[in-house]
Amino acid sequence: MKKSIKILLGLALILLMAQGILAAQVLKRGNGGEPATLDPHYASGTWENYIIGDMFMGLTTYAADGKLLPGLAESWKISADGKVYTFKLRSGLVWSDGKPITAQDFLFSLRRIMDPKTASRYAFILYPIKNAPEINKGELSVDMLGVKAINSSTLEITLLNSVPYFLEQLTHYTSWAIPEHVVTKHGKDWTKKENIVVSGAFKLEEWRVQTLIRLVKNPKFFDAKNVKLEAVEFYPIEDANSELNRYRSGGLHFTASIPAGQVTRLKKDFGKELKISPYLGIYYYPVNTKLPKLKNVQVRKALSLGINRDIITQKILGEGQISAYSFVPPSVNNYVPFGKQARVAGYNRSYKRNIAEAKKLMTEAGFSASNPLELELKYNTDEGHKKIAIAVAAMWKQIYVKTKLFNQEVKVHYKNLQDAQFEIGRAGWIGDYNDPTTFTDIFLESDYNYGRFFDPKAAQLSKQASRITDLKKRATVLAELEKVGLSGYGKIPIYYYVSKHIVSKKVKGWEPNIVDTHRSRWISIR
């Protein structure tokens, strides 16, 4: 009898230990904001990418260290002229409902995002594909897109010109396959919890708005045997201080960011848990150039000259950010040396000289201390954005600008930027792939050119660069495109990002990388 009891107690202990291990394999991530959508064709923010990137996968993907890996494609061949890519899908791929993932799903998806009826604001990312721009503008039918499903497991993509970054571009969610059989049946409701099926390592279990998005392991994922986590919980916390407090209390395994200006204290508190590294992104203020009060380019130039970037990066932030006087970050591949491109928009090395010139420009435009330019500066809710906005307002006061600050939740804020419902706004642009075009393309016509300044010469230079295979010559043309884009002062660059996280010692498999992409499939809890 005693032996039986011991056996039962032993089994119970093993069961409890197993349950404890399973419970421990739930990753709790700060997400930075509430997603507006889980549809890859309508997403646009990093806070959406964090979640969608765990649920879906492209033909290519990122390793934990940010290196390019095969995704749903196991291999590919590139034609001698660099224009035709032939992808072979992995054998046995299925959606989370068990239906096969086929080349037809990719064909359907790429046509869907390019269809003007879809009205995807991020479709321009895929413009290198043959006929994509014309289709997206309604000039050609979707069946003219340079994509073919050769058979169920073979996809062919034809580009207009050779594109050196195309494989990396396919890591972006705009190019990912979505399930044709589900989208056809449910339309825009296909992403609801009861309908959605996915291709990635995790699938949606729960979505409580402004509270929690919970994903659970997808047993149908092709590499499920190597996925350690049982679930991932994303917490949409916009305020960095609130997120930090949740981390301190044990409610998060890592944060989406850290509060501005607290690096010294956080280093002391967390030591090696604080992770700061170079990042492919820029913090900037778009200026609505279509508004009468901001149509004068000299006024816009004055606003840019009036900002002391070094005060922001060194005193307010102090986290290693680099003051930005151009748009393309210094860490981008295939571009001109940063020193030659650092100040392309007419700034002086001396801030006093910049202020003097800004005052002169504002005076010539009819403004003075007794007759200031009244502006509204919008930013999405975050203590760091608020601190920067307050500092900028004080700087602008020197050049006869009276600034009213206005904050909004992130998805509302970015919707207003895209719809040009702002005067001056806070924005961040994160590179979708490691190439200058992911930044210079923002000077072309799109909803992401928030300031609405567009010089036709930029489009000409973009087309010229797309035909150049020599990377050094291409870089020179793209640098000229950047100068043209900045010349209208529709964007005020402020600083280049670094990625900033606090990561628990319990987390294994998290690695810093320039794209700041940390897919949960690589992570486990110790």
Contact between residue 120 and residue 113 where contact means Cβ atoms under 8 Å apart: yes
Cα–Cα distance for residue pair 501/398, rounded to 1 Å: 35
* Residues 200/203/208/213 CA torsion (nearest 10 deg): -40
The count of C-alpha atoms lying within 13 angstroms of the C-alpha of 358, restricted to the half-sphere facing its C-beta, is 25
Cα–Cα distance for residue pair 251/232, rounded to 1 Å: 13
* pLDDT tens digits, 225-276: 999 999 999 999 999 999 999 999 999 999 999 998 899 999 999 999 999 9
* pLDDT tens digits, 152-171: 999 999 999 998 899 999 99
Task: Provide the phi-psi class of 447: left if phi over 0, else alpha when psi is between -120 and 50, else beta.
Answer: alpha
Does the structure show a pLDDT above 50 at 13? no
Q: Is 27 exposed, middle or buried (0-12, 13-18, 19+ CB in 10 A)?
A: buried
* pLDDT tens digits, 303-343: 999 999 999 999 999 888 999 999 999 878 888 865 555 55
Cα–Cα distance for residue pair 69/58, rounded to 1 Å: 10
The one-letter code for the residue type at 420 is A
Contact between residue 479 and residue 335 where contact means Cβ atoms under 8 Å apart: yes
Cα–Cα distance for residue pair 190/418, rounded to 1 Å: 24
The mean per-residue pLDDT over the stretch 478-502 comes to: 94
pLDDT of residue 469: 84
Model pTM score? 0.81
For the domain covering 27-223+503-525, report its CATH number.
3.90.76.10
* pLDDT tens digits, 23-53: 469 999 999 999 999 999 999 889 999 999 9
Cα–Cα distance for residue pair 482/421, rounded to 1 Å: 25
Place of tokens 């190597």: 226
* pLDDT tens digits, 71-121: 999 999 999 999 999 999 999 999 999 999 999 999 999 999 999 999 998
* pLDDT tens digits, 403-452: 999 999 998 999 999 999 999 999 999 998 889 999 999 999 888 899 99
Joined together, the tokens standing for residue 484 give 């043209």
pLDDT of residue 348: 65
Q: Is 500 exposed, middle or buried (0-12, 13-18, 19+ CB in 10 A)?
A: buried
Q: What superfamily in CATH does domain 278-499 come from?
A: Dipeptide-binding Protein; Domain 3 (3.10.105.10)
Phi, psi angle pair for 74, to nearest 5°: -90, -20
pLDDT of residue 347: 67
pLDDT of residue 339: 52
Runs of H (alpha helix) within 323-470 = 338-341, 351-364, 383-397, 410-418, 437-440, 456-466
CATH 3.10.105.10 maps onto the chain at: 278-499
CATH 3.90.76.10 maps onto the chain at: 27-223+503-525
